[in-house]
Structure 1
Amino acid sequence: MRKVIAAINMTIDGFCDHTAITPDKEIHQHYENLLLNAGVILYGRITYQLMQYWQELLEHPSGEKSMDDFAVAIDKIPKFVFSHSLETTGWDSATLSQTSLQETVVAIKNQPGKDILVGSRSIIIQLLQLGLIDELQLCIHPVIAGNGLPLFKDINQRMLLKHTKTKNFEGGATILYFEPK
Structure 2
Amino acid sequence: MRTVTFGMNISLDGYCDHTIFNPSEEVHDYFTQMLNDVDLIVYGRIMYELMFPFWADVAKKQSGTDDENRFAQKLTAIDKVVISRSLDNVEDGTRLVRSNPVDELLKLKQQPGKKISIDSVSLLPELIAADLIDEFHLVVHPVFVGKGRQLLDGGSLQEQLTLKLVDTLVFKSGCVALHYLKQ
1:45 is the counterpart of 2:45: yes
Counterpart mapping for 1:122-137 below 5 A: 122-137=122-137
Q: Distance in 1 between matches of 2:50 and 2:64?
A: 21
The residue aligned with 1:61 is 62
Q: Which amino acid aligns with 2:6?
A: A
Q: CA contact under 8 A between 1:163 and 1:176: conserved in structure 2?
A: yes
**Unmatched 5+ residue regions in structure 1?**
none
Q: CA contact under 8 A between 1:12 and 1:141: conserved in structure 2?
A: yes
Give TM-score, length-normalised by structure 1.
Answer: 0.93
Q: Distance in 2 between matches of 1:136 and 1:124?
A: 11
Q: CA contact under 8 A between 2:134 and 2:181: conserved in structure 1?
A: yes
The residue aligned with 2:118 is 118
Q: CA contact under 8 A between 2:79 and 2:93: conserved in structure 1?
A: yes
1:179 is the counterpart of 2:181: yes
Which stretches of structure 1, 4 residues or more, deviate above 3 A after TM superposition?
none
SS at match of 1:56: helix
Alpha-carbon distance, 1:34 to partner: 1.5
The residue aligned with 1:85 is 86
Relative to structure 2, which stretch is displaced further, 99-108 or 109-118?
99-108
Alpha-carbon distance, 1:156 to partner: 4.4
Q: Which amino acid aligns with 1:46?
A: I
Alpha-carbon distance, 1:142 to partner: 0.5
Alpha-carbon distance, 1:63 to partner: 4.5
RMSD: 1.4
Q: Distance in 2 between matches of 1:173 and 1:101?
A: 31
Q: Which amino acid aligns with 1:169?
A: F
Q: Deviations over 1:135-158 (max 9, x none)?
A: 011110101101221111122422
Count of equivalent residues: 180
Q: CA contact under 8 A between 1:160 and 1:180: conserved in structure 2?
A: yes
Q: Distance in 1 between matches of 2:60 and 2:40?
A: 23
**Unmatched 5+ residue regions in structure 2?**
none
Q: Distance in 2 between matches of 1:100 and 1:39?
A: 21
Relative to structure 2, which stretch is displaced further, 43-52 or 54-63?
54-63
SS at match of 2:41: strand
The residue aligned with 1:145 is 145
Q: CA contact under 8 A between 1:11 and 1:20: conserved in structure 2?
A: no
